[in-house]
Chains A and B, each alone.
Chain A
Amino acid sequence: MGTPYFDYHALAPVIVLAAVALLALVVDFVWKDGGRRAVPQIAGIGMLLALIPVFTLAADGETRVMFGGAFVVDNYALAFAGFFLIVGYVAVLLSYDYIDEGDYYRGEYYVLLLTSVLGMVVLASARDLITIFVAIETVTLPTFVLAGWRKHDIRSNEAAIKYFIIGVLSSAVMLYGMSLIFGLSNSTLLSEIGSVAGGDNPALFAVAIFLTLAGFAFKVSAVPFHFWAPDTYQGAPLPVTAFLSVASKAAGFVAMLSVVALGFFASPNSWQPVIWVLAAASIVVGNLAALRQTDVVRMLAYSSVAQGGFILVPLAVSGDNDAARAGFQGVLVYILIYAAMNMGAFACVIANARRTRSTEIQSFSGLGRSNPAMAVVFTVFLFSLAGIPPFAGWFAKFVMFRAVLDAGTTAAVVLGVLAAVFSVVAFFYYGTVIRRMWFHAAVDLGDTGSPRVPGALVAAMAITTTVVVVIGVYPQLFAKIGDLAFRAT
């Protein structure tokens, strides 16, 4: 047993993030008053610093394998690592004023955020069940605490408790499935599970895959494992909700994608029906429930359940015929676009909640007159979520339907029709908010806050709007990333 092989260049994003998280912790407790200002800056700069090695590794283009194949840095891993870091940076921007003004612990917030993003970056490279499990727990554990951040608010406590109990339950189910897979394939490496999956497997293999995927389904709040999402999203502080509904959800999808694409793929009969049912149920239930909401955060929570269903569609059909590449690329591209538009929508909700101290949909009334710039930006995000060109959302839907058409089986077409019908339904609830903003007079909500939109929120909106508009007009950019990410496989 000698020194294990370490490629510090490949590990650089992870090392930078870990070091920055520790630095933020130390700065917070050593330099109490100054730390208040410094820690968010450190967190933001840290996310961007960790992006540098991601770019140099991408420019290098070499696939680096470490720890006996458990940690792989390839295009796929880099695409998601870069994505998570940028989402993390936007989350810091969203949090900046919200956390600064509330009566909360400021330093710890960013340390936990950095730790969660660290887990995501590791997850992108994880190619082994144990590594995936440890990474996904690193992602979720800090978010349990973040969800309960407003500890004097009973809603926030409820959010954290619900999220914690469901999170632990889902981890247990997932581990049970993983232990069965290990028992059947005698390995935790996805590549070796993949070679076993192609053979003649006992029926227990399907059970193991079912349980593992059910565990991930909790994380991505796919129906019927979505009950925690609306309550948690509503109770948690708004920037945390944005982070949960985008980054932590995307982490669940990345884990699912890795496990299916690299592990179970050769045995489509075992995993396809599970994902098909999850996708169909999420699309139907998510969209129908979103129609009835009067609170914009709950509406976005159900909308994110529905969008999660759309993300699962390309994965559900990827086992048919030659749809694998189109399917996996569809998932990746949809996640990237969904992140930009949902983060942006939450930036607008946070700005509006500062103005009106409310998250009711009716609090958006008259926004078109009082703050037309923000109303335009929010309209762009809602149009994009509804999938209307020329905003990025249409391309996400396009790659989804392309995967369905590539598959071409009856099951795939049925799912495609469901997705198409409920995309139309989705426009109703997004449209309600848009109508409120432009065609209704302002409602007097009594206690109102400051109408000024702080700089950090403006920056977050600028980044996300740019992505949504640029990708809407020039989608080849994300298509290229999707193409590169799956070149090797």
Chain B
Amino acid sequence: MTEFYRSYLAVAVLILAAIGMVGFMLGLGRLIRPVRAQEQKYIPYEAGSDPTGTFGQSNVRYYVFALLFVIFDVEAVFIFPWAVNLESLGWFGLVEMTIFVVVLTLGLVYAWRKGVLRWA
């Protein structure tokens, strides 16, 4: 049972340390920062001008492009090591990589058919 307590003491210490760390950092910030209450500090920052009260939707089209980019970025991560070892992997590697690329291409075709690539 002693070993049991010893190992769970570590868990307790970790939890306390995590709480203490957050408390310490927030507390330290509170202690050393100057507090000058001003009305303007409590309104959202919007590029220097005061917010108008209405909210408009921002354009999320960039987001979908970024998502597509990430997919092909990751594809490259897999293709580079494969290209280096292409000779030893031989035909087997070629077939496997073709399947991988085809699967990703299907995703691109899907995005295209859904009109994701059209900027309008």
Binding site for B on A (CB under 8 A): 1-3, 22, 25-26, 29, 201, 203-207, 210, 269-270, 273
Q: Which residues of B contact A210 (CB under 8 A)?
A: 11, 14
- Docked-complex contact A1 and B89, CB < 8 angstroms: yes
CB-CB contacts of B5-30 with A at 8 A, as 1s and 0s? 01111110010000000000000000
CA distance A273 to B4 in the complex (A): 9
Chain A residue nearest to B89 (CB atoms) is: A3
- Docked-complex contact A269 and B3, CB < 8 angstroms: yes
CA distance A222 to B104 in the complex (A): 36
CB distance from A487 to the nearest CB of B (A): 31
- Docked-complex contact B11 and A25, CB < 8 angstroms: no
- Contacts A22-B106, A25-B110, A273-B4; is A203 near B85 (CB within 8 Å)? no
CA distance A201 to B10 in the complex (A): 12
CA distance A31 to B106 in the complex (A): 15
| Cross-interface CB contact of A270 among B7, B14, B93, B109, cutoff 8 Å | B7
CA distance A238 to B40 in the complex (A): 46
Most buried by A among B85, B90, B92, B110: B110
- Contacts A25-B106, A273-B4; is A1 near B90 (CB within 8 Å)? no
Say if the beta carbon of B113 comes within 8 Å of chain A.
yes
Say if the beta carbon of B114 comes within 8 Å of chain A.
yes
CA distance A231 to B113 in the complex (A): 34
CA distance A233 to B3 in the complex (A): 41
- Docked-complex contact B110 and A3, CB < 8 angstroms: no
| Cross-interface CB contact of A206 among B8, B92, B113, cutoff 8 Å | B8
Say if the beta carbon of B103 comes within 8 Å of chain A.
yes
CA distance A85 to B9 in the complex (A): 42
- Contacts A206-B7, A269-B7; is A1 near B106 (CB within 8 Å)? no
- Contacts A269-B3, A273-B4; is A29 near B113 (CB within 8 Å)? yes
- Docked-complex contact A204 and B103, CB < 8 angstroms: no
- Docked-complex contact A3 and B92, CB < 8 angstroms: yes
Say if the beta carbon of B57 comes within 8 Å of chain A.
no
CB-CB contacts of B94-120 with A at 8 A, as 1s and 0s? 000000000100100110011000000
- Docked-complex contact A1 and B11, CB < 8 angstroms: no
Say if the beta carbon of B88 comes within 8 Å of chain A.
yes
CA distance A269 to B9 in the complex (A): 12
CA distance A3 to B103 in the complex (A): 21
Q: Which residues of B contact A29 (CB under 8 A)?
A: 109-110, 113-114
CA distance A205 to B3 in the complex (A): 12
Given contact pairs A2-B88, A29-B114, a sample of 16 additional A-B residue pairs in the complex whose CB atoms are under 8 Å apart:
A1-B85, A3-B89, A3-B93, A22-B103, A22-B106, A201-B7, A203-B7, A203-B9, A206-B7, A206-B10, A206-B11, A207-B10, A210-B11, A269-B3, A269-B4, A270-B7
CA distance A22 to B4 in the complex (A): 50
CB distance from B47 to the nearest CB of A (A): 27
CA distance A2 to B85 in the complex (A): 10
CA distance A270 to B4 in the complex (A): 7
CB distance from B59 to the nearest CB of A (A): 18
Most buried by A among B3, B92, B109: B3
CB distance from A274 to the nearest CB of B (A): 8
Chain B residue nearest to A32 (CB atoms) is: B113
CA distance A270 to B14 in the complex (A): 15
CA distance A270 to B7 in the complex (A): 7
Q: Which residues of B contact A204 (CB under 8 A)?
A: 10
CB distance from B17 to the nearest CB of A (A): 11
CB distance from A269 to the nearest CB of B (A): 4
CB distance from A435 to the nearest CB of B (A): 44
CA distance A168 to B88 in the complex (A): 38
- Docked-complex contact B90 and A3, CB < 8 angstroms: yes
Chain A residue nearest to B14 (CB atoms) is: A207
CA distance A1 to B82 in the complex (A): 12
CA distance A273 to B6 in the complex (A): 13
CA distance A52 to B7 in the complex (A): 46
Q: Which residues of A contact B106 (CB under 8 A)?
A: 22, 25-26
CB distance from B89 to the nearest CB of A (A): 7
Q: Which residues of B contact A203 (CB under 8 A)?
A: 6-7, 9-10
| Cross-interface CB contact of B7 among A3, A26, A205, cutoff 8 Å | A205
Chain B residue nearest to A111 (CB atoms) is: B110
CA distance A270 to B5 in the complex (A): 10
CA distance A368 to B8 in the complex (A): 53
Q: Which residues of A contact B7 (CB under 8 A)?
A: 201, 203, 205-206, 269-270
CB distance from A462 to the nearest CB of B (A): 35
CB distance from A245 to the nearest CB of B (A): 29
CB distance from B2 to the nearest CB of A (A): 10
CB distance from B30 to the nearest CB of A (A): 26
CB distance from B76 to the nearest CB of A (A): 19
CA distance A210 to B113 in the complex (A): 46
Q: Which residues of A contact B11 (CB under 8 A)?
A: 206-207, 210
CA distance A3 to B9 in the complex (A): 48
Nearest 6 pairs between A and B by C-beta? A203-B10, A206-B7, A269-B4, A29-B113, A3-B92, A210-B11
Listed by A's residue number, 12 A-B pairs whose Cβ atoms lie within 8 Å are A1-B88, A1-B89, A2-B88, A22-B103, A26-B106, A29-B110, A203-B6, A203-B9, A204-B10, A210-B11, A210-B14, A273-B4
